[in-house]
Amino acid sequence: DEEMNLIKRILFGLLILIAALVAISFLLPSQFNVARSVTINASPEKIYPLIANTREWKNWTVWNRRDPNMKIDYAGPESGLGAKWSWESKTEGSGEMEFTQAEPNKLLGYRLTFKDFNSTSTGTLKLEPELAATKVTWSFVGEAGNNPMMRYMGLMMDGMIGKDFDAGLANLKVLAEQK
């Protein structure tokens, strides 16, 4: 009987803990964002074609490099507004990206959908000319909604995606400075 009371107290304690974690999740922000920048010793005119062409992304983003067997399909125009690509990968997940905003040599906006998580987010790559270089800022904004797990994941998003953005921008820098 004493053993049963102990089990009941443990279960009650776990129930209280789970309820507290769910309640706390509603106090967390429903939106998350990640942003990274790099200065590239090249003009916006040299960098923009590398970001505005869907087929160029595999040459500088880390996700394609981590899975060389990633299945990629392209749709719409090859570059700029309306250009799309989708991918399937065992290690990097499956998703789709569409360019929703294109200001040549200035800005590229996109919508990103991850099929595995049934989530959609948006991002931009902004080019700002500096003296003999260009500052490139890659930003990403997502919505966690009312899903408690997604809100906790939102807290970790900068750490998870930020390092991929840093590596991708470093690759973009090398590529743009070589041309």
Average pLDDT, the chain: 90
Token pair listed for 73: 């399909």
- What confidence tens digit (pLDDT) does each residue in 100-129 have? 999 999 999 999 998 776 778 999 999 999
> How distant, in Å, are the alpha carbons of 44, 67, 132, 154, 172 from that of 128?
8, 31, 11, 28, 15
pLDDT exceeding 70 applies to what percent of the chain?
Answer: 97
Please give the pLDDT value at position 179: 64
Helix (H) or strand (E) holding 29: none
| Start-to-end CA span in the chain (Å) | 77
| Sequence letter at residue 139 | S
The strands making up 31-40's β-sheet, listed across from edge to edge, are: 31-40, 134-143, 119-129, 107-114, 95-103, 84-88, 71-75
- What confidence tens digit (pLDDT) does each residue in 143-158 have? 777 777 776 677 677 8
Interhelix angle 2-25/148-178, nearest 10 degrees:
50
* Segment 151-169 mean pLDDT: 84
* Segment 55-71 mean pLDDT: 91
